Amino acid sequence: MALYWRPSDTSARLFVQTRIADGVEPQQYCLPLHELKVARSRYCLIVYERDYDLDDALWARFNFSAYESKLPL
């Protein structure tokens, strides 16, 4: 996963590269941030592709082995 920002027009994109379990070639996906919605569920960040006419579609899920329960003030 990588976040790209272009200063000339202040656009930002999220890039994801992954492999399917039986695939040899990596799959690559890239979408502008304004088309994504991020939610958190304990150890996961869930990224949805926004669809204003229908329900948002799952775009990516990032699982982490641990998470912080409280951020320091």
Q: Global pTM?
A: 0.69
Residue 8 belongs to what domain range?
Answer: 2-63
- The answer to whether residue 70 sits within a structural domain is no
In this predicted model, what pLDDT tens digit does every residue of 40-50 receive, in sequence order?
A: 887 889 999 98
Nearest alpha-carbon partner for 1 in 13, 12, 11, 16: 16
- The answer to whether residue 49 sits within a structural domain is yes
In this predicted model, what pLDDT tens digit does every residue of 27-40 receive, in sequence order?
A: 888 999 999 999 98
Q: CB–CB of 4/33 below 8 Å?
A: no
- The answer to whether residue 46 sits within a structural domain is yes
- The answer to whether residue 14 sits within a structural domain is yes
- The answer to whether residue 55 sits within a structural domain is yes
Query: Model confidence at 65, in pLDDT bands (50, 70, 90)?
Result: confident
Q: CB–CB of 35/57 below 8 Å?
A: no
In this predicted model, what pLDDT tens digit does every residue of 6-22 receive, in sequence order?
A: 999 899 999 988 877 77
